[in-house]
């Protein structure tokens, strides 16, 4: 069952914080303790929205959404699924709930910048991205550990950028986006200059 995290009893919200600490284990921008994870969950609920995947009172995973660019863009943050329940469709169901809610709130673009490559898991790690950013992005591949960008790609997200050295030298952040509407939009035509009219 997918339900709003904010409306859940304290016991479920405590599990949400614990999942952040456990699920992002080893991640430099992860949550080291329950206190910071509890504050993160509360902040996401305050500033945006969050959904929980539940089996009775057991939290299987949760997802948050945060508004950016005055609500035209909604960031998927955070997303975590309990380890023993991964690869069973829980993440997909949570992302679908995030997308529906962000769309309802007027999103044009859905994105995630949490897909850091902080452990040399992809071809973007340890290279000079400035040398040819589009080529490195076009040639992005997983180096065998199942980096989360593969998950997002399965769900229709595409790499729309990266931030070199976001997690330390040679450790970039990978930006992935998806149009919120069913149709992929094209860019608005540039305005014509008087000479062109």
Contact positions vs ligand COA (CB under 6 A) = 23-24, 78-81, 86-92, 114-115, 146, 148, 150-151, 154
Tell me the closest approach of the beta carbon of residue 83 to ligand COA, in angstroms.
8
Tell me the closest approach of the beta carbon of residue 143 to ligand COA, in angstroms.
12
Tell me the closest approach of the beta carbon of residue 30 to ligand COA, in angstroms.
9
Distance CA 196, CA 152 (A): 42
Whichever of 13 and 157 has its CB closer to ligand COA, that residue is 157
The DSSP-derived string for 114-125 is: -----SS-BTTT
Residues paired with residue 110 on neighbouring β-strands, in sequence order: 74, 178
Whichever of 6 and 156 has its CB closer to ligand COA, that residue is 156
Whichever of 61 and 136 has its CB closer to ligand COA, that residue is 61
Whichever of 42 and 150 has its CB closer to ligand COA, that residue is 150
CB atoms within 10 A of CB 72: 12
Tell me the closest approach of the beta carbon of residue 91 to ligand COA, in angstroms.
2
The residue of the chain with the least Cβ separation from ligand COA equals 91
Decide: 5 and 60 in contact? Cβ < 8 Å: no
Distance CA 73, CA 46 (A): 17
Q: Are strands 49-55 and 73-81 parallel, antiparallel or unpaired?
A: unpaired
């Amino acid at each position: 069952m997918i339900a709003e995290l904010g409306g859940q009893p304290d016991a479920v919200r405590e599990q949400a914080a614990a999942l952040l600490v456990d699920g992002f284990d080893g991640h430099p921008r992860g949550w080291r303790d329950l206190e910071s994870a509890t504050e993160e969950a509360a902040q996401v609920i305050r500033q945006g929205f969050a959904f929980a995947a539940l089996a009775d009172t057991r939290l299987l995973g949760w997802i948050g959404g945060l508004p950016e660019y005055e609500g035209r863009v909604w960031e998927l943050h955070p997303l975590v699924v309990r380890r023993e329940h991964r690869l069973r469709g829980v993440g997909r169901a949570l992302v679908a709930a995030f997308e529906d809610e962000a769309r309802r709130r007027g999103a044009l673009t859905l994105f995630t910048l949490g897909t850091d490559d902080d452990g040399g898991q992809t071809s973007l790690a340890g290279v000079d991205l400035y040398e040819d950013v589009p080529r490195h992005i076009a040639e992005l591949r997983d180096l065998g550990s199942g980096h989360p960008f593969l998950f997002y790609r399965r769900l229709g997200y595409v790499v729309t950028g990266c931030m070199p050295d976001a997690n330390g030298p040679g450790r970039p952040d990978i930006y992935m986006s998806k149009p919120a509407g069913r149709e992929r939009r094209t860019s608005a035509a540039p305005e014509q200059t008087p000479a062109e009219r």
